[in-house]
Structure 1
Amino acid sequence: MSVTTMPPAPSPCFPPVEFVVDGVRRFGSGSGSTHTTTPQAYARVRLDSVLGAAIADAYVAAPVRDERAYAAYAAFCRETLQQYHLLVGRPEFGGLGVAVRIVDEDPYADVESMVEDVRHRRLKIFASAASGNPHPYLSDGENDMFRAVHDVFGHAGSGRGFDRHGEEAAWLKHSAMYSRLAARALTTETRGQNCAQIFRYGAGRFAEQKAALLPRLFSDPRLVRVVGKEVRPVARC
């Protein structure tokens, strides 16, 4: 079954931050995937509502903690740390030199404010410890590092915001920086939790954090197909 229904209009986008795009390119992909997407194509990524609802249901049905996910989460933590070192590392040693601050309240009203900070090589992250939604596997520090790298490499690197289509583009962009194993945990942390919030809980409630794996159908970025000038999520079963 293919799900290719597209919304009538593109969601908001902005020029990706150039030094972030260059950093992602230098970091390279550990996934070994042959899937490639041009920077312009991220502006055309959409998340079909039927597919999004199916991902949400899979997330809601998943256990809070599943030992079968631990290997993926261990790889995810290692690779996130490598990305964080790239993010905050000194430029003379190949890093991006972004100064990250952990704060106790949501620092940005919109994606434009966050991107403006990134362009000036700074970033504020809402502290995991202050969220009231602890992670069953990641420590607060590990969760904070992931939020930082995802905001920069996923959103600022793709040029997309925090709506459902922007989150889909950020998931696709960031997946290319993880190995295939770690990308399954990334999918739970981004695509899964975002879909649960959007399609099942609404904007006022974040979905409970989990350490579990979604079906491979939803976890493989290669199932996002580039068709002409558009990127269409494709689900096969």
Structure 2
Amino acid sequence: MEAELADLAQAYVDRHWPSNGHRISSRATCTLDWDEDYCRRVAAYFEKAPRLAYDTVLVRRYDQFKRENLQQYRVVVDAGITVRPWLTPGQPYRGSAELRASVRTTGELYVYLTSAGHGPEPDERFHPMLEPSGIVVDGVELSHNDVFRVVHDAFGHVMSGRGFSARGEFGAAFCHMGMYSADVHPVLFTEQVAQICWFFFGPRSAERRYPPQKVFEFPTHYLTEFRSLFRL
């Protein structure tokens, strides 16, 4: 399953971003120079950032991000994986090893729905990832954030073998980032990397709670520094 996903991911990259010139497999196995101080700085910036700074540039980035997630979702389905909404209390998997083993043996990937957990408490305020995606599975319409969770689990964790720890999530995010256009990397950074940092190193890290859901763009140097942590 992992090899098939990697082949499909590479074909996707070659078709959509041929100028990237990199192999997805190399991102899946690259070395991470772990830096907890960096994580704390990202978490601190995220904590102080506004909840919503949704300017015209970010609108365009999020729209593109959602389109690319939908394209990647189709790649997951083409790999023979059946996506299912998780409708039982709690999380569908106890860890990344169970996620990978389950997908490998059953061909099914359960998505923990955004409606069950997104942010520290229910929040009806606007967020672009809460909009419906148009994909209906088992009678449930997935939000764009649900679609992102599917493709992140498939291409970030199942394909790369990375875990759910802070380091594992960094590796999964970096591997998966290689499947996106550079224009949406700032969105991916805020939606994934920054929230990982806040979850594990933020002011409420002991509680292991979902981060507040914010829509803003980090200064470029944070993303540049994130990329520099990995050696291909």
For the aligned pair, the TM-score class normalised by the smaller chain equals 0.7 to 0.9
Aligned residues: 206
Query: Which residue matches 1:67?
Result: 54
* Cα RMSD, aligned residues only: 2.3
- Asked whether the equivalents of residues 43 and 159 of structure 1 are also in contact (C-alpha less than 8 Å), the reply is no
Counterpart residue type for residue 211 of structure 2: A
Distance 1:46 1:106, change over 3 A: farther
How high is the TM-score relative to the length of structure 2?
Answer: 0.80
Task: Work out which of the residue numbers 213, 216, 236 in structure 1 matches 2:217.
Answer: 213
**Greater fraction of residues in helix:** 2
Structure-2 separation of matches of 1:197 and 1:132: 13
Task: Work out which of the residue numbers 153, 156, 159 in structure 1 matches 2:158.
Answer: 156
Query: Which residue matches 2:228?
Result: 223
Structure-2 separation of matches of 1:150 and 1:46: 22
Query: Which residue matches 2:40?
Result: 53
- Deviation, structure 1 residue 206: 1.2
Query: Which residue matches 2:96?
Result: 111
- Asked whether the equivalents of residues 27 and 178 of structure 2 are also in contact (C-alpha less than 8 Å), the reply is no
- Asked whether the equivalents of residues 45 and 166 of structure 1 are also in contact (C-alpha less than 8 Å), the reply is no
- Asked whether the equivalents of residues 46 and 169 of structure 1 are also in contact (C-alpha less than 8 Å), the reply is no
Identity %: 28
Structure-2 separation of matches of 1:141 and 1:41: 27
Query: Which residue matches 1:92?
Result: none
Is there any run of 5+ residues in structure 1 with no aligned partner, and where? Answer: 1-15, 89-94, 232-237
Is there any run of 5+ residues in structure 2 with no aligned partner, and where? Answer: 132-141
How high is the TM-score relative to the length of structure 1?
Answer: 0.78
Runs of 4+ off more than 6 Å: none
Corresponding residue SS for 2:143: helix
Structure-2 separation of matches of 1:126 and 1:222: 28
- Deviation, structure 1 residue 46: 4.2
Corresponding residue SS for 1:107: coil
Query: Which residue matches 2:134?
Result: none
